[in-house]
Structure formats: C-alpha cells, structure tokens
Chains A and B, each alone.
Chain A
Amino acid sequence: MSSDVIIKARHLAKAYRLYDSPSDWLKQQVAGSIKTYYRSFWALKDITFQVKRGESLGIIGRNGCGKSTLLQIVCGMTRPTKGEIWVKGRVAPVLALGATFDLEATGRENVLIGGAVLGLKRPEVIEKFDSIADFAGIGDFMEQPIKRYSTGMRARLAFAICAHMNAEILIVDEALSVGDLAFQKKCVDWIDNFRRTGTLLFVSHSTADLSRLCDHAIWIDNGHVREAGDVANVVRGYKKATLVEQDSMSRFSAV
C-alpha cells in the first residue's frame, strides 16, 4: 500500500439490523447465528474509494443515499458490516459537534468538554482557548450558557473547536450552511489553508462549494458509488441526473 494513502475503503457495506420488536432482539441474542430474527437494511452496498494525504474528496448524493453512514464509518463511530476500511491519522468530524453541547454550561466549559471529546489533552485546550474564542467571534457569549446562543453561534463555536484540534483528516458535513456569510467565508478560508497540509472529506448539497473546495468527488446513489473522479465531471453528472430523475418516495423503501 502506498504510504501517502490516508483513507482506503474497499467494497464497504453497512447493514442496519431492523428488529420488528424488542423481543426479537432478545431472541437473536439467544439464538446466536443459528437463526435470524431481524431484517437487514443495507444503507451502504458497495463503496470503494481512496484518499491520499493532502487531497480533498467531495461526497454528493441525495438524501438517504448513505453519505452520513459513510462518514460515520470513516470516523469510526460505527463499524462496516462487510468490506475494508483503513484510516490513518487523527480525524476531526465537524458533523454536529454543536449537538453535543451541554446547554446549561457556558461556552468556555463546553470548549473544555468538546476538546476532550475530540481527544485533546486538557492543557492543550486551555492553551488554545483564546484562539478558539477569537475564531468563534462570539465575544462575551463565551461566558454565557449555550442555551442563550443562536443556532449560528453554536455552529461558530463548534467549528472553532474543530479547527483547533490539529487533525490530519477533517470531515465537514453541511456544517457551514448555518453560519452567516462572513463566518462561512472565514471557514472556507480556513479550510483552504488546512488543505495545504491536511486531508478533507467534504459533504455538501451545494455543488458550488464542492467545486471550490474539492479536487475529486464521489457521487453516492443508493449505497453504491455511481460516479467518481474529477469534481467537475461528477458534479456535472449529478446535476444532469437531478434534472431527469424524479423525487419519488420509492427511494426510501426499506429493505
């Protein structure tokens, strides 16, 4: 394996086990591998891609196509059912860090907790605190409980924490869309800067952002990679398909 490959996914597939009732889960535990009491829902069916150090990979696809599941696998939050995933280096997911904020605690306290959740040592967080506060740009709100924050302010703080964890792989999932234009620009500039040294996985429905930030892209459709390669080509194919294909409910049928 060449040394500059940092993420490698080969024939990844992920099945969620759907139990019709909780008692089926219990039966399954007792039965072991003798009998199955669940239905499998394959969120990902066959995903193969690789990312080299310093590359930026965009991921597009319609709602429910498996993007989030894929990101969860890359982060190690959930395990693939089949196939191989290999990730080297520290991953920083800007998925929804804001969702883990403790509403009663102040921004400052949440920075300490958030930093710890992302794997930073306490002295490191304390050392970077001023820089984080500066990046978030929410002023005195840093000392206020998070419950008084607006959605945009939460996103600012969340992004600021992630931006300071010296990750080798940054995963950005629609996190930018809530901030105002000035903050979005700040984030995009920061990501541009990050790309010089780090690897980026970027998920967005905004094809403009995708073209701007990524070199390559994969288009996921129904758990498969439908198209992969240069970002311009993938985006073009995706846009064309959106014009033709209807937004039908049948896409969401489970099993």
Chain B
Amino acid sequence: MHYVDGKQVIPGHYNRFQLFIRFLLEPFTGAWHHRDLIVAILRRELRERFSGSVAGWVWAVVAPVISLVTYTLVFGGAAKLPDGKPASSPIDYALFVFGGLIAFNFFTEMAYRAPSLLHEYAHYLKQTMFPAEMLPVISTLRATTYASIGLTLMLLCQLIFSGTLHWTVLLLPLWFIPFLAFLLGITWLLSAMGAFTRDTAYLMMTIAPVLMFATPVFFSHEALSPDVKLLMYGNILTGFIEIIRDIVVFGKLPDGLVVAWTVFLSALTFWTGYWFFRRQQGGITDVI
C-alpha cells in the first residue's frame, strides 16, 4: 500500500491505455480477489433476511406466488395481449406482466436499498479494511436470489399451463449478465451518493413509483406511437423487459438493435458507476 498526497501509487509504469484497461478489469479482478469475503457476507445477508420469522424462506416464495395468482385472476381472461397478439393460454397476459414486474422489482429493490447501503455497513468500513466497492456486488447478488425465485416460478407456471417452454429460455443467463451489470452500476452510483447525502434515498422513493409508468410493465410499448416508443428506449428497463418477454413469453429472438442498445447502456452504467464510486471512496469513510 502506498499513498502520496492522497493518491494511490500503483507500482510499475503504465501508459494511459494500459491504465484504462486496468480500470475496466478492476471490478472483476477485485471481485475475484475478495470472493471468499463476498460469499461470507452474502450467506449472512441471506440468512438474516428471514431470521426471527417462523416461516423463513417460505416468504420469499409466497410473495411472488401471490402476485402471479393475482395477475392471473385480474388479467387472465384477456384474449389479446396488449400488443394485439392473440393470447395462446389464459395465463399469457399474467406472464407478460409478471416478466416485466420481475425486472422492475429487481431494479427498485436495488434502488431503494443502495442509498443506505454504506450506512448499514458503516461499522465494517470504519473499523476494518473492508473493500467498500464490493458491498454493491454483495447486495446485487442477494437481490438476484430473490429475482431467481420469481423467474423460476414464472417458468414453472408456463410449463404447467402451456405444457412446454420455448427454447429461447436458454438465453436467460445471457439476459442476466447485462442486467446485473446495469444494476451494479446504478448501485455503485447511488450508494456513493447516499453516503454523503440522505436525499438520495428520498429521491429514489419519489421517482421509482413514477418510473413504473415510464416503464412498460403493465402495457406494451409496441402499441405506442413510434415517437413515444423510441423515447421509451431511453429508459434502459424497457429494453430489458422487451428482451425477457421475447425469450420467455413469446419464444422469439429479441431484436438485434434493442439488444445492442441495452448492452451498451448497461456497460456504460456499469463502468460509470464504478468510476464514480472509486472517485468518492476516499471521502466515504470520513463521512459515514
């Protein structure tokens, strides 16, 4: 460890390009280096979530089941999907909504928690050599567990009602990679901001519900006028929701342009978030 005038000195000589590559790889090398720590904290977090409750993990399954049942009851009779396609089974519309909800809820869980994340772990950050930049990684992984429960349920439901799954379901892991990257970037950004000002938390609580209407969760953006539709893609969640619906509900390959745009936005969010977090990190332990 070597610091001169508040800046870390990295041994060896690198040119700008090498430093840039090093920066791009840093989140991955860091996570690999701290993998045991990440797993240890993650285990604790997962256990803690339902500790003290009798039913425990049953809650994690019951909640998505209830919401899936509700959507089926409410929307089940719809013969047409919002984009005008005929529904092939009564549960199609429910799955359509549920797919969007999984992605959106995943996002809001991160957005609500991120601003207070570093405060939650203040005692670690102040008293041990804890790698703060790994906290967003841990909390994203934790949320992934719950999202996976929802997704599994969704697939199960589809299997039961339509008797078959589309082969494109196999692409789901590929959907997760950019989505996690996007969420991580957002969490880095929000948690660093949240360390300095509590307003970040209030801001997220205010805009997340509004954002729900700017995201095609209950409707399909396909039905909108072309101008508005294009505008919707400014919201990165639109792309993710369209892709997950394509591969899970409709069983078709997503539009290449949409995929490219979504992946681009996620990569941008990922590294911007990481860059911002690292920039603020020196001040974080001093303020929380």
Q: Does B282 contact A79, Cβ atoms closer than 8 Å?
A: yes
A17→B127 contact, CB < 8 A? no
- Find chain B residues with CB under 8 A from A78 CB: 282, 285-286
Least distance between B165 CB and chain A CB atoms (Å): 36
Closest to B281 in A: A79
Q: Are B196 and A22 within 8 A (Cβ)?
A: yes
Cα–Cα distance between A81 and B283 once the two chains are bound (Å): 10
Q: Please determine whether A26 and B123 come into contact, CB atoms closer than 8 angstroms.
A: no
A84 touches B3 (CB 8 A): yes
Any A CB within 8 A of the CB of B80: no
Q: Which residues of B contact A76 (CB under 8 A)?
A: 1, 129
Say if the beta carbon of A119 comes within 8 Å of chain B: yes
A120 to B35, CA, bound (A): 11
Given A26-B197, A104-B51, A113-B41: A82 and B129 within 8 A (CB)?
no
**Selected interface stretch from A53-61, A88-96, A193-201, A234-242:** A88-96
Min CB distance B141 to A, Å, is: 15
Chain A residues closer than 8 Å to B2, beta-carbon distance: 84-87
> Is the Cβ of B5 less than 8 Å from the Cβ of A122?
no
B36 to A121, Cβ gap below 8 A?
A: yes
Q: How far is the CA of A26 from the CA of B193 in the complex (A)?
A: 9
Are B286 and A17 in contact, with the CB atoms below 8 A?
yes
Q: Which residues of B contact A96 (CB under 8 A)?
A: 127
Q: Main SS of chain A's interface residues?
A: mixed
The answer to whether residues A79 and B3 also contact, given A22-B196, A116-B40 and a CB cut-off of 8 A, is: yes
Contacts of A82 in B (CB 8 A): 5-6
> Scoring B residues 1 to 38 as 1 if CB is less than 8 Å from chain A, else 0, what string do you get?
11111101000000000000000000000000000110
A118 at the interface (CB under 8 A from B): yes
**CA A74 – CA B6 in complex, angstroms?**
13
Q: Which of A16, A72, A86 contacts B1 (CB 8 A)?
A: A86
Contact B123 A99, beta carbon cutoff 8 Å: yes
Counting chain B residues whose Cβ lies within 8 A of the other chain, the interface size class is 20 to 34
B residues 193-212 touching A (CB-CB < 8 Å):
196-199
| Binary A-proximity of B42-67 (CB < 8 A = 1, otherwise 0) | 00100110011000000000000000
Counting CB contacts under 8 A, is A112 at the interface?
yes
A86 to B51, CA, bound (A): 43
Most central of B3, B41, B282 by chain A CB within 10 Å: B3
Assuming the A-B contacts A16-B286, A104-B48, A109-B44, are A119 and B129 also in contact, with contact meaning beta carbons closer than 8 angstroms in the complex?
Answer: yes
A113 adjacent to B40 (CB under 8 Å): yes
B197–A100 touching, CB < 8 Å: no
Q: Are A93 and B129 in contact (CB under 8 A)?
A: yes
Q: Judge if A97 is at the interface, Cβ distance under 8 Å.
A: yes
Q: How far is the CB of A103 from chain B (nearest CB, A)?
A: 10
Closest to B8 in A: A79
Residues in B whose Cβ lies below 8 Å from that of A120: 36
* Chain A 8-64 interface residues, beta-carbon cutoff 8 Å to B: 16-17, 22, 25-26
Contact B39 A122 (CB under 8 A): yes
- Kindly name the residue among A25, A80, A99, A117 whose own CB sees the greatest number of chain B CB atoms within 10 A: A117
Sorted nearest first, the 4 A-B pairs with minimum C-beta distance are: A116-B40, A116-B37, A87-B1, A22-B197
Name A residues whose Cβ lies closer than 8 Å to a Cβ of B. Answer: 16-17, 22, 25-26, 72, 75-88, 91, 93, 95-97, 99-100, 102, 104-105, 109, 112-113, 115-122
Can you name 6 extra interface pairs (CB under 8 A) apart from A84-B4, A84-B5? A22-B198, A22-B199, A79-B3, A81-B5, A83-B4, A116-B36
25 residue pairs bridging A and B, Cβ less than 8 Å apart: A72-B126, A72-B285, A77-B126, A79-B8, A80-B5, A84-B3, A84-B5, A85-B3, A88-B1, A93-B127, A93-B129, A95-B128, A99-B127, A100-B127, A100-B128, A102-B48, A104-B52, A105-B44, A105-B47, A115-B40, A116-B36, A116-B41, A118-B129, A121-B36, A122-B36
